[in-house]
């Protein structure tokens, strides 16, 4: 057990989550989740080995699918409000285990402890939302053109929902999908990121206990572990009518093509290249808070992280000075220490990507305002800690057009009307989140109009990150077009059916067609 793990109670958190105490880093209590080669989970916080999880073989996968298939036959017949009751109990378990699970999220992924707790709170919130939804899975009733007929539509469960999640939100995104899918009558098979497998095992332990207490089959929630090859088993499987995948654009295109080839459905949450527009009528203090948290929160590893700050030339120097000054106050270090603002990147591969992006930005003509770099020495032994950087750039730079999953903020300038800023914001292939800082009603409404932001999320006077579960979450263009969480996102987890009932003794045909025998 590392000094960090001992000091911050990680061993106790693991015990509470049903994972064995780590002595030499070889036992996690999770060996029953597969029979393949073990993948090791190392904490980016201190480089310590958290544990090992065995991967899913093709034989293991087949057993999982059989379990899920059988569970679906039973689960779909449970009335939706009763399914909601199971989700309610899951939410209560999460409330009891919020601190240990939040601590594990922080230690395995690297985000701050407060953000780890916030992620578990998202799980609790979506459970609450799903419980209410379980009594509102409504269709519509339509008037028929034929006398003595009634038309209506209803929604039925799809079946097995496959979930592929990313490391940056190792538990919340799974919950967004499962909580809704479960109340809709579906069962779920989840492949968590191979970079955060312990979080997946912990969540499976929690929901498995709920199923046991209610004499329900464990196949309602299944876990598979491994790399992209394990994900391919699911994306190519006709028994999985819907695959929900979160990750890079490159990964999403592969998943979309595989699922579409078998005429399945995919829900894609892919890359973001999110911008905040700062107009001359912006509140500068609010702008700085929104921009800095958006850029450095989760060490820039949110799909909604702020990548670009598009500032009007009349206030450019003022905003630049305020933001760069705020960066001087950032504290980088152990994310379990609540005095720190920024934790580590997920691994050294992410560090290399960060370094390459800074180098490319400078080669294209960017000016470094806040210097980046990798931190070393006491407290930074994992090699995953980097300094958040700010670069003056142009929207046309190739590196600015890309999504870099790291704390690099590009400052861009615009002149003239807000339309020019909107054109810059929309001038990338991604379309997830966007924001405008302004006290001008006309600018705000223009930004929100059909000629404004082309993103799935558009905010006024708040940043690009930190979406609430009540709204549908997702983006347009190469972000994938999917929607998760709130609003009517539940409909993708169900199949729609139109029903017509004839309660007469005649059989009139639609459109007045006559067919007499």
Gap between the Cα atoms of 202 and 148, Å rounded:
55
The backbone torsions φ and ψ at residue 163, rounded to the nearest 5 degrees and listed phi first, read -125, 125
β-strand pairing of 141-143 with 149-157: antiparallel
Straight-line distance from the first to the last Cα atom of the chain, in angstroms, rounded to the nearest whole number: 83
Gap between the Cα atoms of 448 and 462, Å rounded:
14
Per residue, what are the HEC states of 193-216? Answer: CCCCHHHHHHHHHHHHHHHHHCCC
C-beta neighbour count of 339 within 10 angstroms: 7
**How are strands ordered across the β-sheet holding 141-143?**
141-143, 149-157, 494-502
Coil, strand or helix at 190:
strand
Gap between the Cα atoms of 494 and 468, Å rounded:
23
Distance (Å) of CA 299 to CA 186, 292, 295: 35, 11, 8
Gap between the Cα atoms of 448 and 28, Å rounded:
49
Q: Which residues pair with 393 in a beta bridge?
A: none
Burial of 145 (0-12, 13-18, 19+ CB in 10 A): exposed
Which string of DSSP letters, residue by residue, matches 250-299? HHHHHHHHHHHHTT-EEEEE----EEEEE-TT--HHHHHHHHHHHHHGGG
Q: Can 269 be counted among the known catalytic residues?
A: yes
Coil, strand or helix at 306:
strand
Gap between the Cα atoms of 273 and 68, Å rounded:
37
**Residue tagged active-site, from 194, 269, 443, 478:** 269
Q: Can 184 be counted among the known catalytic residues?
A: no
**Residue tagged active-site, from 303, 443, 455, 484:** 303
**Residues tagged active-site:** 269, 303
């Amino acid at each position: 057990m590392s000094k960090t793990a001992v000091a911050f109670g990680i061993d106790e958190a693991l015990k509470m989550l049903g994972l064995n105490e780590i002595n030499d880093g070889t036992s996690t209590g999770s060996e029953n989740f597969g029979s393949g080669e073990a993948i090791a989970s190392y904490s980016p916080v201190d480089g310590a080995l958290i544990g090992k999880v065995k991967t899913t073989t093709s034989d293991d996968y087949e057993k999982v699918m059989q379990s899920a298939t059988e569970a679906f036959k039973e689960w779909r017949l449970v009335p939706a409000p009763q399914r909601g009751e199971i989700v309610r109990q899951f939410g209560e378990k999460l409330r009891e285990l919020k601190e240990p699970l939040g601590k594990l999220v922080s230690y395995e992924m690297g985000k701050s402890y407060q953000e780890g707790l916030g992620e578990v709170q998202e799980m609790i919130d979506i459970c609450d939302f799903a419980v209410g939804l379980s009594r509102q899975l409504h269709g519509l009733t339509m008037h028929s053109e034929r006398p003595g007929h009634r038309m209506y539509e209803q929604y039925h469960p799809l079946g097995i929902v496959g979930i592929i999640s990313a490391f940056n939100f190792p538990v919340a995104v799974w919950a967004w999908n499962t909580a809704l899918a479960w109340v809709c009558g579906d069962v779920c098979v989840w492949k968590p990121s191979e970079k955060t497998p312990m979080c997946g095992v912990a969540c499976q332990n929690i929901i498995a206990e709920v199923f046991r207490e209610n004499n329900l089959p464990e196949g309602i929630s299944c876990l598979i572990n491994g790399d992209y090859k394990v994900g391919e088993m699911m994306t190519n499987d006709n028994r999985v009518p819907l695959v929900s995948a979160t990750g890079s654009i490159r990964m999403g295109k592969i998943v979309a093509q595989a699922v579409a080839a078998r005429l399945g459905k995919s829900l894609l949450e892919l890359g973001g290249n999110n911008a905040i527009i700062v107009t001359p009528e912006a509140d500068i203090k609010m702008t700085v808070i929104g921009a800095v948290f958006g850029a450095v929160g989760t060490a820039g590893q949110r799909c909604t992280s702020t990548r670009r700050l598009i500032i009007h030339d009349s206030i450019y120097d003022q905003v630049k000075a305020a933001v760069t000054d705020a960066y001087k106050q950032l504290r980088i270090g152990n994310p379990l220490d609540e005095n720190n603002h920024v934790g580590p990147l997920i691994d050294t591969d992410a560090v290399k990507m960060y370094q390459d992006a800074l180098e490319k930005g400078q080669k294209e003509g960017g000016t470094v305002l806040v210097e980046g770099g990798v931190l070393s020495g006491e407290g930074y032994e994992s090699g995953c800690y980097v300094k958040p950087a700010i670069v003056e750039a142009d929207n046309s730079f190739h590196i600015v057009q890309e999504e870099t999953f790291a704390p690099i903020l590009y400052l861009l300038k615009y002149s003239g009307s807000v339309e020019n800023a909107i054109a810059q914001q929309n001038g990338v292939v991604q379309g997830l989140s966007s924001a405008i800082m302004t006290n001008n009603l006309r600018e705000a409404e223009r930004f929100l109009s059909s000629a404004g932001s082309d993103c799935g999320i558009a905010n006024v006077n708040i940043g690009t990150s930190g979406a609430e579960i009540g709204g549908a979450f997702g983006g347009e263009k190469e972000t994938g077009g999917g929607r998760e969480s709130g609003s009517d996102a539940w409909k993708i987890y169900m199949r729609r059916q139109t029903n017509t009932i004839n309660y007469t003794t005649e059989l009139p045909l639609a459109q007045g067609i006559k067919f007499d025998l």
